[in-house]
Every structure is written in C-alpha cells, then in structure tokens.
Amino acid sequence: MLSDAIFPFISRLLISAIFVQGAFGKIMGWSGQASYMQSHQLPAQLIPAMLGTALLIEAGGVLCLLVGWKAGVAAFVMFLYLGMVSVLLHNFWALHGASAGGMQTQFLKNVAIMGGLLMITANGPGKWSLDHRSLTAKARRFDSRPLA
C-alpha cells in the first residue's frame, strides 16, 4: 500500500512544490523574472514567450502531477524544461568565486529534481491518481465483456 499508493502521491506533492513557487513567481513578478533572464543574455524579444511557456509548463505540469492525470507525460515535459532552464540560467561554469558556488548548488538542485521527474515518467504516478483510476476502469470494462 505505501510503496504503490501513498509514497508516489507524496512524491508528486513534494516535487510539485518548487514548480508552484516558480509559477507564482512568474505571475507576481513577471518583470523581475524577465530582467533575470535578460541578465543571462537571453534575447529580449523572446523573453515574454519564454516566460509564458514556462508558466504554462509549471502550472499545467503541477496540476497534472497533483491529480495524477497524464503524469508521466507532464513529468517528462517538466524534465526537459528544467534541463533547459538549468543550462540557460544556472550556468555556474561561466562564473567565478562565491557566485559560481551558489549557482552550482541551484544547478545540482535542478538535476536532483529532474531525477525525480524521470522516476515519475518511468514508474507512473501510483495508485492514488487519475491515471490509475482510468486504467482500472478500462480493465474492468474489458474484463466484463463476454467471451465470443
């Protein structure tokens, strides 16, 4: 029960927390986020579209993870997104001194989160999810058909 129901559910809750914070940060501080991206030499004309896409991935991904609907697909999209964010905005290898150390921590934190997202992609969201309910309902419908 714990390993296939509550543990995956808690994992989805915990991994979603940072993306909730990121989505609210974009909603409440759009211009600050845009300035941060511009400070990393991202093209100014693309920043609004990039931020909008990021907000959609974060908010939509969190909803999918929390309810467990299309969770594997959502987790994989979030994995790809976080990989790009890490390389573009946490490029510690281009910095020196204490700022490089802090940025490396942010980069490695993202790598750890990416590992969790891949686990969800590979193993699914667990029993306490809409994906599991859907599969169970389909199996019941299939099993209830009369044999020819």
Label residue 137 by pLDDT band (50, 70, 90).
Answer: confident
pLDDT per position as a tens digit, 98-128? 999 999 999 999 999 999 999 999 999 999 9
| Segment 15-35, tens digit of pLDDT | 999 999 999 999 999 999 999
Distance CA 142, CA 75 (A): 28
Asked if pLDDT for residue 144 goes beyond 80, the answer is no
74-105: string of b/e by CB count within 10 Å (b at 16+)? Answer: bbbbbbebbeebbeebbebeeeeeeeeeebee
User: Around Cβ 144, how many Cβ atoms within 10 Å?
Assistant: 7
